[in-house]
Structure 1
Amino acid sequence: MDISLLSSLNGIHYDEGNLDFLRPSPLHFNCGVQILCTCGTCILSTGAQQFHLQERSELIFWGGSIMQLMEASDNFHVRLLLYPKKVFLQAAVSLDTTYFNYMREFPQYDHGAESWKNVSLWIDMAQLLFTRPASAFSERLELNFLQSMLMWIFSAIPDTYVSATESYTRKQLLFHKFMHLIHEHAAQMHQVSFYAEQLCISPRYLNEITWLHSDGKTPKELIDEQLTAELKVLLNNPALSIAEIASLCHFPDSSYLSRFFKKNTGLSPKEFRAQKQR
């Protein structure tokens, strides 16, 4: 796959394969991404969070995401759709945001036989429409396809997705919301107090939640894991100096960033860049 598409996508793009391009280092999808696992298993990391995909798993990030392939079976294979943000915004404007909010917090769904058959038909249609040269009708086809598919997905949510949360405890729901918040804000917001305030709970209660649902990790550890992944993506861009990255990520200066990065990776930012160039 041409990874330049991740930052300069002009239209809906269909692809398939084993996601090997995500193995070396995390990459930023500056677009919507929909992944259907058709065979095998894998672990995909978005920074502080990992998703275990198997056959019939679907993973959707409408607003883009950082992703890295951590592990995969030899037979791992996916079908992939990328959506330009402008197309997604046009398609979503008339739809209920309740469902978008839900899917942002619960981006993975493991299909049963019937729903897998149906979602595969939508991907078949996407393959038919978006693997041919652009035409005068391409923009209208993209908008109509995405809006129709979203309406189909959301019509299924009350019965298949949202009902699954009825058995979740308050702590589980808060944990999912916390993970969504650090996915969106960790590059700039590094303090636990910010996330506790967003969730209307105390930092101590947030610590209790993360300890319970992330194998004993603290909120700060999860924030730092996400921030480290964000820094790796930025360091992969040679056009950005370390000082510029420090400013983008709200570090006091480049030396502070370097100390943070070495503490969490064992490498300085310069060493990380040199390793990538080998």
Structure 2
Amino acid sequence: MKEKVRSSAKGGVLPGFEDFTVYSDVRYLPVGCHPAYLSEGFVGVCTGGSAVLDIFSVRRRVSKDDLVVVIPHMFAVLSEKSDDFAMLFFKTSYTLFMDVLSGMCRPTLDFFFYMRQHYVFTLVESEVERFRNFVHALACKAGSETGHIRRESVILLLRVFYWDIFVQFKKEAVRGGIRYGHKEELVYKFLNLVTEHYSTNREVSFYADKLCISPKYLTMVVHDVTGKSAKECIVEHTLLEIKSLAFFASQSLLSRFFRKHTGMSPSQYREQAHL
């Protein structure tokens, strides 16, 4: 695997590799002020200030000594961030995250729904210190080992961390605290497919075929769960991804960029979703 050489810790980034890196600068968080599906997950402790984090429709305020655990493919936005907001955190790719989970359990939809609700935990001082030591151990392994050994070392350490969360999830499941139906499961699979294929496939029929259902039924189910049509979800995700590619100082700059890549303005593109 090709190594990415990172800057020193003074720059807010510790040594890492393609699927994993430790940071102390919130500018590197994979979640921003625009709602988007996250291709990476992150875990960190707030070391100062505060911010409001939304995962789908679940809003949490993150304050000092709060632990935040966000897995990949969550729909997230970070808002109301204070000027002194700070975190010590690490990011994991979707591939690495699934490799971590696969050695512990078979990932299921109910675990995904559990993590939508339970992603902020308040720690006591001793727990914060243990987390700092844990992150330091991860950074040492990510920076000192080489190749396959380095990646496996990080995976083994991450399994220790996620195992505690998985145990809490199983306890909640036994109590019957996690509920979802067939429609929610279908929408979850649809949104994951959109995240994976939106750049090359933007027709509802493509996703309906992947799910072995009719486009009409997919649109109905998505609307029942989200309040939007399947086409609107695809369009909105495409718009959000384009916005996240670069910073636009004005709406006119975004419109020109969007027209260049799609042949139409954002408003025209949205209108197509209602045809």
- Cα 1:195–1:67 shift into 2, 3 Å: same
Partner of 2:158: 146
- Cα 1:30–1:180 shift into 2, 3 Å: closer
1:97, distance to aligned residue in structure 2 (A): 2.8
Partner of 1:198: 210
1:107, distance to aligned residue in structure 2 (A): 4.6
Which of 131, 137, 162 does residue 123 from structure 1 map onto? Answer: 131
1:189 equivalent in alignment to 2:197: no
1:72 equivalent in alignment to 2:81: yes
1:229 equivalent in alignment to 2:240: yes
- Contact kept in structure 2, 1:42 and 1:72, CA below 8 Å: yes
Count of matched residue pairs: 240
Aligned residue type for 1:42: V
- Contact kept in structure 1, 2:204 and 2:230, CA below 8 Å: yes
- Contact kept in structure 2, 1:175 and 1:210, CA below 8 Å: yes
1:257 equivalent in alignment to 2:262: yes
Partner of 1:94: 103
1:57, distance to aligned residue in structure 2 (A): 7.2
Structure 1 segment 210-221 matched on structure 2, within 5 A: 210-214=222-226, 216-221=227-232
Partner of 2:251: none
- Where does structure 1 lack aligned partners over 5 or more consecutive residues? 237-244, 247-253, 266-278
Partner of 2:178: 165
What secondary structure does 2:177 align onto? Answer: helix
Q: Write the distance in 1 (CA, Å) between the matches of 2:79 and 2:269.
A: 17
The CA deviation string for residues 213-233 of structure 1, in whole angstroms up to 9 with x for no partner, is 33x321111111111223344
Partner of 1:273: none
1:14 equivalent in alignment to 2:22: yes
- Where does structure 2 lack aligned partners over 5 or more consecutive residues? 1-5, 248-256, 271-275
Provide the alpha-carbon RMSD of the alignment. 4.7
- Contact kept in structure 2, 1:44 and 1:71, CA below 8 Å: no
The CA deviation string for residues 36-56 of structure 1, in whole angstroms up to 9 with x for no partner, is 6676442458xxx67633235
- Cα 1:223–1:86 shift into 2, 3 Å: closer
What secondary structure does 2:213 align onto? Answer: coil
Q: Write the distance in 1 (CA, Å) between the matches of 2:20 and 2:44.
A: 13
1:110 equivalent in alignment to 2:123: no
Partner of 1:34: 43
Aligned residue type for 1:228: L
